[in-house]
Structure 1
Amino acid sequence: MKHDRSWTTMSTAVLVLMLASCLEPSLGEGDGGKVDTKPNFLLFMVDDLGMGDVGCFGNTSIRTPNIDRIAKNGVKLTQHLAASAVCTPSRAAFLTGRYPIRSGMAPSGQMRVIPFLASPGGLPANETTFATILKQAGYDTALVGKWHQGVSCSNRNDFCHHPLNHGFNHFYGLPLGNVRDCGINVGTVMRTKPAEQVISIVIAITVLLLSVAFLKLYGVVYYNWRSYCNFVGLWVGLILLGFFFLRSFRTLNCVLMRNKDVVEQPFNLETLTPRFTEEAVAFLRERKDVPFLLYVAYSKVHTALATAERFRGKSQHGSYGDNVEEMDWSVGEIMKTLDELGLTENTFVYLSSDNGGHIEEVSAKGEVHGGWNGIYKGGKAQGGMEGGIRVPTVLQWPGKLPAGSQISE
């Protein structure tokens, strides 16, 4: 009996490591000296892109000519699976080639991703990423885009989980990620409506006062009125602090960094993808003569959805389609730079999604802001169904991978 096998994002991490360690420099022409022919690595990771959102995987109404071109010139994987149906554990697996539970990046609780910039959790410093191995092999390594693997441990300046501590020489992007709260007037996932928040605060304070008064009345607790007021004041202050923290989520968490420095807080979603593209193109031009790893991790097509003006209203699928098409444009600009620099033949290209499309994502106005997973049931955060983990994936490496082929096992 033939066994079904599936490529996973972890398989790609392992493949990168194998290629880097096994390929030796070959003899060059002319002086007989060795010419460094180590392959370059260009890895694209899209956020929440559905299996059915791409032309080469069956979509006939969203235009993705640049991703389709990679498939035409390379290999399409129809059985490629993410290691998790949400981004933080999935990306941890992608980076390390290990199941995320082995590195403590697959919590079983309700919050399965890193929620705040100040969260102490993240990818442990003792985990080995493919960037670490490539850096040790002499590669120049860069991450442009979303990290979402933590930043610091005990204080904001230790950067124990930062990309620069996991093998990347350069980082330009989002240490956390993009959520609705990072947009303007597009809703929230971190808090309820203002009226509901006020009601919740009033109820919490009322319950607190009544509880303490009851305990004092029946002699369970003994203290004077001054300590009573201090106690109540402390709890009221903590409640209000939590309220203002959630109200200030965009300012505190939606930041753009260059290496360890914050360069924009909060970031502008409309210009984010063009800036990621410019950064990636600049890296390629500057490092064209040395072996490199460029990992481009888009914040698209995760909500909040926002595009540059030139892409707005151009697709047949509203804001979501506009965002997919802008992301595809970015892929095209970076691939075009590879061609211009003569790097295409020696560059292994990989494009995938961190998990399936978010089929339940609907805006406050009722507009569908999530993707489509084709024939597969379920979506993002629904790991028990295939739509949450089967992801559209294409590979390209001219002369090494047969053009126009498909792997369906």
Structure 2
Amino acid sequence: MNDSAARLDTAADRRDLIILGGGLVGMTLALAAARAGITSHVIDRADPADLTAEGADGRASAISTASWNLFGKIGLAPALSGLGCPIDSIAVTDGMKPGRIDFTPKPEEGTLGRMFANRDLRLALFDAAKDEPNIAWHVKTEAVRRDRGAHGVEVELSDGRVLKASLLVAAEGRQSPTRDEAGFALAKWDYKHRAMVAGLFHEKPHGNTAWEIFYPAGPFALLPLLDDAEGRHRSALVWTVSEKDAAGVVAMSDAMFVNEVERRMHGVLGTISLSAPRMSYPLRFHHAGHVIDERLAVIGDAAHGMHPIAGQGLNLGLRDVGALVEVLREGMRLGLEPGDMELLKRYEKWRSLDSFMVMSVTDGLTRLFGVPGRLPSAVRRLGMGAVQRLPTLKRFFMDEARGMSGTLPELLQG
């Protein structure tokens, strides 16, 4: 991979896009754009070999039905086939008390999504990108100067090279320096919670069911993964704890941690053990009021960061990808430049409402289930029982989980 990356680094021609950030969202954008005939420079300071090394990242991501449609249309499905665990149902419960909701689509509707190891997603993306002539991939370097003007954009890299394009795309993640440099206002707050992430082996099979168990301190999610090569059952854990308790949880021995996790699982998967190293990160919300500026578009976590309660963070970024590629492709067919402001305004209008709605629902659920006490719990379970009995409401929530609601970009449609 390094040889290919070095070969691609020699490309210094002007291209349609300069994409800052070659993570899951940035590289998906580059590949989707390339399939539409749109050229790009992709800049990432990381070494791809480090990102895909065995054990470097034990995290997993839920890929919605709509996002899987995108992967299929840009040619990633063959490489990912057989690597994702289908999510056939989602069980939602308030502390494992009576009144849970079971979301299970009809067989002809397919799954609610698929769980993939982040490493597998990266390997598929990087392998596809390294042989794509429409992508010039610049690794182990970063932007030290970004200039945007009426005639295009210019980026100087830390190794001295200068790249030019029509449009700059910031896909640098939550701490995007390009977004901050552009002065975008952010609605943001700290949940004062921390997500504890780990991989689990467990005694009982998960039956392709994802569990979302809500406790007053925060949601506790069990996400199904494929059995390992030895046939051991596996799931990914995302356990939300209060920031005031986080230091104590982080300091726990593995045995103590497993005991606490097992206690909250109420035996649904039997005895457990750790299958991957534990990680933790703070939970914060941010939403950019604008996602465009002169010859600039912001996508993925650079534009919006949300609570992982519904597993929609990456999927929201992939919806950004689909919308941006569709807008650029249609505009370029009419002879417009990718950096044309009218195209960017269309992208912003399309994405702003959708991302705000998804994030508002996610934030609302986090706050609703975080209210302690018997009365709030009883009210929640009463509402959950109503949803369980009403097919129309269940259909709405399942469509949201599958990413099939709203005005979808063509790349994400079935």
TM-score (norm 1): 0.25
When normalised by structure 2's length, the TM-score is 0.25
Give the number of the structure whose alpha-carbon radius of gyration is greater.
Answer: 1
More contact order relative to length (CA 8 Å, sep ≥ 6): 1
